[in-house]
């Protein structure tokens, strides 16, 4: 018999919501959603791949819960987080006469959550939305915390809004259909929580990554629950990233620069870029004399053991000039008065925010070009 679902709470006053983690939640989503909808009408937004796999099941469950539905499907992939797709989606939602008290259901990975969440944030000045994340990355990170955005030619996630979902349903059974490359990319965000502030979780991951990446349900549930608990606590303390929430960007300044350089065509997945970014953030911390080199080696060994990249060269970007990556970094949302904010670490599980990284040492690290 399937284990009972676990329920966590993101405490944000009147914007508080639950994260439910379990198996079979998509097939039961009508019952779970009915109490949180202002009106029993919703539009399910998903991508072509996810729609083929789960849309019928979700719509059936919603109908069984007495919820009237329509569905909109967008092309799969990062390319959908753009202005054209956003405009099309908004026009389609309006054509369906979505009212202020109706709800957008984001069924898919981080791309769908970010795109549909942003559309919900600005449609009729803001309507409710619910996250039904179907990738590991979305279940442990992007579906929680209310960041929604599209990309610009100037960089990733530069146009967006904070808009909290009304509920997150993380059905780990849906991860069974996820290609291994995508599971691995999501694993980089799982690992991030261990590296930020939970050494015991990092040790657990060192032991249990093989089971988790083989799709073991118990291991996945545990990893999703630990990750969501950590993220919920940070978001509750700092919803709009004026402080601590920036810790969640460990590795991301590097990652976003690599993604901007690679383009958003699926050649480099966000989680793969994050894996490289995590290794680089630790390497920079060691370069600055803040972190013992054994900790960098331990992290790099683990990334390599699971099959994640640890350098720009490993993702085909070894020849990119440091000045080009630095220029991408200057578009980072954390730039303040022209200064970059970096998340550095004193060791595994000991990340901190630094606003005074020596640019010359950073450029030296970027120029050091470790082998793939
Ligand atoms: P994604 O949404 O593109 O999903 C990856 C691929 O997996 C897609 O092709 C999708 O169709 C497919 N897929 C999804 N679920 C599936 C399933 N269960 N079975 C089979 N295939 C499935 O990518 P992602 O990695 O989930 O998310 C990446 C995005 O998330 C990036 O745009 C990133 O910027 C964003 N993000 C946002 C936040 C945030 O806080 N808002 C945090 C982290 C990342
Ligand atoms: N993914 C980083 C954040 O939600 O703040």
Residues 24 and 141 both lie in one domain: yes
Residues 74 and 151 in one domain: yes
* 83-100 per-position pLDDT tens digit: 999 999 999 999 999 999
CA 75 to CA 77: how far, in whole Å? Answer: 7
Q: Give the burial class of 371: count Cβ atoms within 10 A of its Cβ; 0-12 exposed, 13-18 middle, 19 or more buried.
A: exposed
- Boundaries of domain holding 171: 6-177
Please tell me the least confidently modeled range out of 112-116, 287-291, 338-342: 338-342
pLDDT (average), residues 41-53: 98
Best mutation site among 135, 190, 217 for ligand 1 pocket (most ligand atoms within 8 Å of CB): 135
Pocket-testing residue among 138, 192, 332, ligand 1, by greatest number of atoms within 8 A of Cβ: 138
Euclidean distance between CA atoms 310 and 371, whole angstroms:
9
Q: What percent of the chain has pLDDT over 70?
A: 98
Q: What is the pLDDT of residues 114-145, one digit of tens each?
A: 999 999 999 999 999 999 999 999 999 999 99
| CA 157 from centre of chain | 11
45 with 96, same domain: the answer is yes
Q: What is the mean pLDDT of residues 335-359?
A: 88
Give the end of a domain, one of 126, 145, 177. Answer: 177
Ligand with smallest separation from the Cα of 114 = 1
Q: Which of 177, 208, 235 lies at the terminal end of a domain, its last residue?
A: 177
User: Of ligand 1's atoms, which has the minimum distance to the CA of residue 189?
Assistant: 43
Mean pLDDT of the chain: 94
- Which are the contacts of 207, defined by CB distance < 8 A and separation ≥ 6? none
Residue nearest to atom 30 of ligand 1 (CA): 110
Question: In whole angstroms, what is the distance from residue 96 CA to residue 77 CA?
Answer: 24
Alpha carbon of residue 94 to chain centroid: 27
Whether the per-residue pLDDT at 283 is higher than 60: the answer is yes
Chain segment 215-271, per-residue pLDDT in tens = 999 999 999 999 999 999 999 999 999 999 999 999 999 999 999 899 878 899 999
Is pLDDT of 369 > 90? no
Q: Determine the atom of ligand 2 nearest the C-alpha atom of 246.
A: 5
Q: Is the CB of 114 under 6 A from ligand 1?
A: yes
Distance of CA 177 to the CA centre of its chain: 18
Domain boundary among 125, 150, 177: 177
Residues 260 and 321 in one domain: yes
The pLDDT of 298-324, averaged and rounded, is 94
Q: Is residue 346 in some structural domain? A: yes
CA distance 172 to 170: 6
Which pLDDT band holds residue 330 (cuts at 50, 70, 90)?
confident
Q: What's residue 371's pLDDT?
A: 53
Q: How many domains does the chain have?
A: 2
How far does the centroid of ligand 2 lie from the alpha carbon of residue 113, in Å?
Answer: 13
Q: What is the pLDDT of residue 22?
A: 97
Whichever domain contains 124, its CATH number is 3.40.50.1970
One domain, residues 157 and 196: no
149-194: pLDDT as tens digits: 999 888 789 999 999 999 999 999 999 999 999 999 999 999 999 9
pLDDT confidence band for 110 (50 / 70 / 90): very high
Average pLDDT for 327-337? 78
Confirm whether 263 is domain-assigned: yes
Is the separation of the CB atoms in 131 and 26 below 8 Å?
A: no
Percent of the chain with pLDDT over 90: 84
- Asked if 192 and 294 sit in the same domain, the reply is yes
1 pLDDT above the threshold of 60: no
* Residues contacting 172, CB < 8 A, separation 6+: 21, 22, 23, 139, 217, 220, 221, 224
Most confident of 1-5, 198-202, 284-288, 314-318: 198-202
- Res. 332 pLDDT band, cuts 50 70 90: confident
Residue 155 has a pLDDT of: 79
């Amino acid at each position: 018999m399937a284990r009972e679902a676990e329920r966590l709470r993101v405490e944000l006053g009147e914007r508080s919501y639950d994260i439910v983690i379990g198996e079979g939640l998509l097939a039961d989503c009508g019952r779970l959603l009915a109490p949180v909808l202002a009106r029993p009408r919703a539009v399910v937004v998903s991508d072509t791949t996810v729609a083929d796999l789960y849309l019928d099941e979700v719509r059936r469950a919603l109908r069984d819960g007495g919820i009237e539905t329509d569905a909109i499907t967008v092309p799969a992939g990062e390319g959908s987080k753009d202005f054209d797709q956003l405009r099309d989606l908004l026009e389609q939602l309006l054509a369906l006469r979505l009212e202020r008290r109706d709800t957008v259901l984001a069924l898919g990975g981080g791309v769908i959550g970010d795109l549909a969440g942003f559309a919900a944030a600005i449609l009729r000045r803001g309507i409710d939305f619910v996250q039904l994340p179907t990738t590991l990355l979305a279940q442990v990170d992007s579906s929680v915390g209310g960041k929604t955005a599209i990309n610009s030619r100037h960089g990733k996630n530069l146009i967006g809004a904070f808009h909290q979902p009304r509920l997150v349903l993380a059905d780990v059974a849906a991860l069974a259909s996820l290609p291994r490359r995508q599971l691995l990319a999501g694993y980089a965000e799982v690992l991030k929580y261990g590296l930020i502030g939970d050494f015991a979780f990092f040790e657990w991951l060192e032991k249990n990554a093989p089971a988790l990446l083989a799709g073991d349900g118990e291991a996945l549930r545990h990893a999703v629950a630990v990750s969501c608990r950590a993220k919920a606590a940070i978001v509750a303390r700092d919803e709009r990233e004026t402080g601590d929430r920036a810790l969640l960007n460990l590795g991301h300044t590097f990652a976003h620069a690599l993604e901007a350089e690679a383009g958003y065509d699926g050649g480099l997945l966000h989680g793969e870029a994050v894996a490289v970014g995590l290794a680089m953030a630790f390497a920079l911390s060691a370069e600055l004399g803040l972190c013992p080199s054994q900790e960098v080696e331990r992290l790099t060994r683990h990334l390599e053991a699971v099959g994640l990249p640890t350098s720009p060269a490993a993702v085909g970007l070894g020849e990119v000039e440091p000045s080009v990556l630095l220029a991408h970094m200057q578009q980072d949302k954390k730039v303040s008065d022209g200064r970059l904010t970096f998340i550095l670490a004193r060791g595994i599980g000991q990340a901190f925010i630094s606003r005074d990284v020596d640019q010359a040492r950073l450029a030296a690290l970027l120029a050091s070009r470790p082998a793939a």
